[in-house]
Structure 1
Amino acid sequence: MKRSSAQQETMFQQYKSLLFSIAYHMLGSVMDAEDCVQEAFLQWYASEQEEPVEHPKAYLCTLVTRRCIDRLRSAQTQRETYFGLWLPEPLIETTDPSELSELNESLSLAFLLLLERLSPIERAVFLLRQVFDYDYAEIAAIVGKSAENCRQILHRARRHLPARPTHTPAPHAGQRQVFTQFFQAWMNGDMEGLLQVLSDEIVLHTDGGGKVRATLHPLYGPDRVAHHLLWLKPKVFHVIKVAIRPTLINGQPGLIGYLEKGLDEKQLLSLGLDGEENSKKPGAWHQRAPQKGKAAFVMVLACTDNQIQEIDIIVNPEKLRHIPALAASDNGTIVC
């Protein structure tokens, strides 16, 4: 029997969260994931005008996954020529953290960055099996391969990924404590305080995409990372407002920096994040500079064993467009 538009909408809303999660894990982009989900819904809606789809959930998952595979194939060349370090778009928490607990590890920027080592089809099979717990018959139908072929693809994907770390992810309470210690030490310019919370294996990534000056390579080691953070603070926070309200970003503690006021040309040119005089297009951001109250950067902390193992800073304005502006009534914000 043909479904009404209202029934289709209800059914789509039922699966929308799952579809977005698959698309975001595949693409590492909030906006592209939303586009894929919407395109899948429109195709399903059009198909139902002719004949009802027997299994809408499987049909929609197939549409989304195949669209993501196509997008990844076209995006690979762009990412190979991406200026500097490429990081996924940050996913700002909008639900109860307990609802994301099972996906927190797979949502982490570190995990999504590792998946860049896989081909589009390897990434799809790996995620559907390892993260979303689909059986091989279901995966085979979604990606258009045989079940045995999917087993081989998964085996190959695992070989391309490094062994999972042995560190124990800190519980939410521990993450909040580490975040608080880190933020206080950073804002106070406390080198010793920073070194206490940074792991010996700490790595810092910054993604400017050639639009904002940023470190072009990872920084390793607590001394180097701490010195960089302390160098960065006075250079940036004279124009940035930092929200420290309880916010998970990709399932991990983090903060969002907002412009406190509009910037003039001199300030824009001085807002370098790498300390290098010869960075590519140091003033290019003025063409895309966020307005007052808009997100200017995101920082995410990966906490394990009650220490910070990784810090990811995203300043590419194109990856921050989906983040809502800071509300004037937001009293969970401090100005730095």
Structure 2
Amino acid sequence: MTHNADTEALVHEFDRYRPVLFGLAYRMLGSAMDAEDILQEAFLRWQQSPRHTVQSPRAFLMTIVTRLCLDALRAARTRREHYVGPWLPEPLVSTGTPDPTARAEQEETLSFAFLLLLERLTPLERAVFILHEVFGYSYDEIAGLIGSNGPHCRQLGHRARQRLSTERPRFRADPAQAEQAARAFARACAAGDLQGLLAIFAHDIALWTDGGGKARAARNIIYGADRVARFFVGIMRKAGRMMTFERACVNGQPGLLVWIDGRLDRVYAFDFDARGRIQAVYGVLNPDKLCGITRG
């Protein structure tokens, strides 16, 4: 086989596993840009490894990506301690409606609510939990990926489930209700309609805004329907005429892109309660997290 043909075969084999590798890296890091960096490094190591040493390409690549993510997570912990205001994941955006055939549990593990819960775990707990709960690996298989043993991985998984069990949502909002609430939010915001917002907000709603010190945003989480609704009415009074809302699928759920004079200003993701009311709003304004999103 020629060098070019060998390289092409390596690229083809790597691309077979790219979706699952990206899914792992994104859930581990909460950043699409960082996940892509991890995949680039993984491909270089894949390219440099002698073929006779690779018995299972998938296992080999999952091991590399998992360990690279663990290193990246440990480094990120220090940076996030000094992050300005609430930290939110980098949004995964596609225009249009969520895929109705997608597995509900897979979409749930991409949601902002779920990714924020994962922030409570240590890097090893996070890796074990994701690999077991999302990708279906046994604890013995995970042990091989992270360089540990089965009983220790089982203990890490148990500890992770205990930490998350009290706050992990026990229900999933009806997709049609969630879609309707997101559209109603856009209409009420555009109109500066305080009562319209209150009608679709859960009473204990929380608003997270991530500007990262690079965009104007609330430095603390805002709680309560009245306070959150008045916050949005205030925004629209200042910049409402310049804002346009675009429907989008954000991390597998109904969301919105907000444009000002053709520039993406922010992305809104939502969490919904069992009645389809908005339980949380996640506003990503940090321009570093928006640069890869284009208009649909």
**TM-score between the two structures when normalised by the length of structure 1:** 0.81
Q: 1:166-198 deviations in whole A, cap 9, x for unaligned?
A: 553223222111112222122122222111110
Aligned length: 291
1:288 counterpart residue number: none
2:258 counterpart residue number: 257
1:323 counterpart residue number: 293
SS at 1:169 equivalent: coil
Does the CA-based 8 Å contact 1:30-1:322 persist in structure 2?
Answer: no
Q: 1:212-271 deviations in whole A, cap 9, x for unaligned?
A: 121111111111111111111122334433323xx21011111112231xxxxxxxxxxx
Does the CA-based 8 Å contact 2:54-2:60 persist in structure 1?
Answer: yes
Does the CA-based 8 Å contact 2:87-2:212 persist in structure 1?
Answer: yes
The counterpart of 1:313, out of the listed 254, 268, 283, is 283
1:1-336 aligned within 5 A: 4-48=6-50, 51=52, 53-93=54-94, 96-99=99-102, 101-165=104-168, 168-244=171-247, 247-260=248-261, 293-305=262-274, 306-324=276-294, 326=295
Structure 2 CA distance for aligned equivalents of residues 165 and 35 of structure 1? 29
State the AA in 2 paired with 1:322: G
Shift of 1:93: 3.0
Structure 2 CA distance for aligned equivalents of residues 130 and 218 of structure 1? 29
State the AA in 1 paired with 2:293: I
1:263 counterpart residue number: none
- From the superposition, tell whether residues 102 and 65 of structure 1 become closer, same or farther in structure 2 (CA, over 3 Å): same
Does the CA-based 8 Å contact 2:186-2:245 persist in structure 1?
Answer: no
Shift of 1:204: 0.5
Does the CA-based 8 Å contact 1:300-1:313 persist in structure 2?
Answer: yes
State the AA in 1 paired with 2:281: I
Does the CA-based 8 Å contact 2:244-2:258 persist in structure 1?
Answer: yes
Moved more, 168-177 or 36-45: 168-177
Moved more, 150-159 or 74-83: 150-159
Does the CA-based 8 Å contact 2:107-2:253 persist in structure 1?
Answer: yes
Calculate the aligned-residue CA RMSD, in Å.
2.0
Structure 1 CA distance for aligned equivalents of residues 128 and 79 of structure 2? 23
Structure 2 residues not aligned, in runs of 5+: none
% identical aligned pairs:
44
